[in-house]
Structure 1
Amino acid sequence: MKQTRIPATYMRGGTSKGVFFRLEDLPDRCREPGRARDRLFQRVIGSPDPYAAHIDGMGGATSSTSKCVIVSPASVPDHDVDYLYGQVAIGEDAVDWSSNCGNLSTAAGAFAIHAGYVDAGRDGVRTVRIWQANIGKTIVAHVPVENGTVQELGDFELDGVTFSAAEIVLEFADPAAGEGALFPTGNLVDTIEGPDGPVQATLINAGIPAVFVRARDIGYTGTELREAINGDPAALDRFEALRTAGAAAMGIDKTGRAPAIAFVAAPAGHVTSSGKQVAAGEIDLLVRALSMGKLHHAMMGTASVAIATAAAVPGTLVNEAAGGGARTAVRFGHPSGALQVGAEARQVDGRWTVTKAIMSRSARILMEGWVRVPEDSF
């Protein structure tokens, strides 16, 4: 038995990182969806790992670092590339193909140029139209280029990422997930049954299905860091119960598409995970979200789209936490700092729709070459 080596690129995108592949570089049996592809990605990452450490793989044993991506020539007109994302479970034998990673969408735009699918062209900003193949949506990445390649370094700072880099602006076109309504129940605020009684929630379908509740309604302030939640098994169980109740209310509990669960609060002075002091006046609201059953160290890109969209609709709990009223952008605080996001929402025939959500991220190649896996592992 020997190892198979496969061309790969290890990239950071936003506050996530993952292993990127060109479709044509994958072994033949992994170029189509199926068990072989899943097993390959699991072995690349180092899953399933009962030690939850990913010592024997490229993963980092967190929801932000257990990811693989396939980029290929566009399969739909008026797009440059297809971007397919796999979230590899850490301790379980599973790869989730049901949703997008908003953070790695940034890296997908840059990788399209690095991999030769999109010509860098003249110095400036290259527009890369991405078909997000998991959910069938368009993402437009505005990638800076210089001297015939992606400009990766710059002075754009992203909380949750230690070093600055070049800014990449992302536009999520028509981000309502799937073909469903923006608010699946038809309400801006619903009441769901939590483990400790009824809880008000905004259930939205944008970027990712998401369940937003007030921090104060579940005994929190919105300034919590990871340790306060992830070290409390009972708290994680309560969040899972809320997430499950929200999924049932949204009608997606039988489809396998799990919504994110998040809690929001009005601005307050607080300390981030890096020890930075943030004044209440520096942000519009506070948001904390869970990913793969744990409080996220910053904010998922798809959840950021949901936050931007919900904030743009007066009457949602997210809009309420931000002070109410019409708004096209908010700056929200998360455990690692703050992030500015925007959305264009409007009512059409009594129903809310969103045409576009916008946010800025950055991306950088960390390593490129070949990844090696045992030949009998997929």
Structure 2
Amino acid sequence: MPHVPQIKIPATYMRGGTSKGVFFRLQDLPERAQTPSAARDALLMRVIGSPDPYAKQIDGMGGATSSTSKTVIVAKSSRPDHDVDYLFGQVSIDKPFVDWSGNCGNLSAAVGPFAIASGFIDAARIPENGTVTIRIWQANIGKTIIAHVPITNGQVQETGDFELDGVTFPAAEVQLEFLDPAAEEEGAGGAMFPTGKLVDDLEVPGIGTLKATMINAGIPTIFVNAEDIGYTGTELQEAINSDAEALAKFETIRAFGALRMGLIKNVDEAARRQHTPKVAYVAKPAGYVASSGKEVNAQDVDLLVRAMSMGKLHHAMMGTAAVAIGTAAAIPGTLVNTAAGGSERSAVRFGHPSGTLRVGAEAKQVDGEWVVTKAIMSRSARILMEGWVRVPGDAF
């Protein structure tokens, strides 16, 4: 029988923060994948190598972790005062779907450099040496991200001495501002705290009633206290990811938290919405040895945070979850703020499995409601490979 040959599609493989993914210009995708469709999802899954019952993604570009099973589509923005539209697709590793429900804060750092390299930014705006400011429309959640991209000799500077725990080698710093980061989520009315409370009693069958801060900022996130679920906040990946009972517990918390936040109408829907919400647990400062062997001392951090992503404990911290952490830390009374000492603050440094990270947020009360105007953090990004990806012509 005849076999359909492979086709090739222009693509760029990039690291952004502690994630990496395959980036596409919208105009380079096959026509039937240029609009949201089953064909687009099928194409991206085939590029990444999903669904893979072996959970290895050997036959694709994915790296078999939530941090490396990612795709990005960038287009010239049709919105005023924005340079590009950025759409993020989290590809499930072992199931046949792409989750479009949230942003990737880490890959957000790579969108500006990709936009410049792809010709989306007017050359007249790029200095010989300095910084170019790029306004990004994050299409998944309808928010603006401002990226400050360093330029040297008229080109994006990718090398440098900025160190980011969770990334092996130093690189150039890309500063990001997430404007008005409270997520616009269906069922939550765009509220930062969809239940109307800073701390809720979340009833989770089989586990009990947990104190929880449920927040829509950066990405919908459910924060619980580490000690309430039997942890210290110093755990590394193997302590959680090798424990099937623990993973099931976190997924149950996530499902019932999503229901309480109004993100789903039935707990069964959570299985088809793996990317959001996130579940994280917090603890007061304590010393531990990070996954790299680096010693983190209690005095180095304001609190400890561990977060789940796509059913596993993340090796560092998702950028969007860092926005949620910074936002919640800035608001007195949340579990995050309490773990950090309970004082008013505009920035927080937290410990995660790979080390530490600092994130800032500007919070204020307006008519009795908390509003965060922006969250700020630094990442790095660089191109790993550019050219074409190939997929069988009948794969989508």
TM-score by length of 1: 0.98
**TM-score of the superposed pair, with normalisation by structure 2:** 0.94
For these two proteins, the number of residue pairs brought into alignment is: 378
| Alpha-carbon offset, residue 243 of structure 1 | 1.2
The residue that corresponds to 2:191 in the other structure is 181
2: CA distance, partners of 1:28 / 1:187: 46
Measure the CA separation in 1 of the matches of 2:78 and 2:94.
33
- Partners of 2:171 and 2:200 lie apart in 1 by 41
> Match for residue 131 of structure 1?
137
Cα RMSD, aligned residues only:
1.0
Equivalences for 1:170-319 in 2 at 5 Å?
A: 170-178=176-184, 179-194=189-204, 195-254=206-265, 258-319=276-337
Distance in 1 between residues matched to 2:141 and 2:72, nearest whole Å: 14
Q: Unmatched 5+ residue regions in structure 2? A: none
Alignment partner of 1:36 out of 21, 34, 39: 39
Q: Which moved more, 1:132-141 or 1:112-121?
A: 112-121
Cα distance in 1 for residues equivalent to 2:183 and 2:76: 23
Q: Which runs of 5+ in 1 are unaligned?
A: none
1:18-71 per-position Cα deviation (integer Å, ceiling 9, x unaligned): 000111111111111101111110110000000000111000000000011111
State the alpha-carbon separation in 2 of the partners of residues 33 and 121 from structure 1.
Answer: 36
1:108-119 matches, cutoff 5 A:
108-118=111-121, 119=123
Percent identity (aligned): 70
Runs of 4+ in 1 over 6 A off after TM superposition: none
Query: Which amino acid in 2 is paired with 1:6?
Result: I
User: Displacement, 1:345?
Assistant: 0.7
Alpha-carbon distance in structure 1 between the residues aligned to 2:260 and 2:65: 28
Secondary structure of the corresponding residue to residue 64 of structure 1 = helix
Kindly state the Cα deviation for residue 7 of structure 1 after the two structures are TM-superposed: 0.7
Cα deviation, 1:104-133, whole Å, max 9, x if unaligned, reads: 000011101111111333310110000001
Q: Residue 266 of structure 1: CA displacement?
A: 0.5
Residues 12-21 or 249-258, more deviating? 249-258
Q: Structure 2 CA distance, aligned partners of 1:68 and 1:196? A: 35
Question: Pairwise mapping of residues 334-349 of structure 1 onto structure 2 (< 5 A)?
Answer: 334-349=352-367
| 1:190-227 Cα deviation digits (max 9, x unpaired) | 01113321110111110111100000111100000010
Between 1:218-227 and 1:249-258, the stretch displaced more is 249-258
Indicate which of 163, 181, 187 corresponds to 2:169. Answer: 163
Deviations along 1:172-197, whole A, 9 cap, x unmatched? Answer: 00000005111111111101113321
- Residue 166 of structure 1 aligns to which amino acid in structure 2? A
Q: Distance in 2 between matches of 1:283 and 1:295?
A: 20
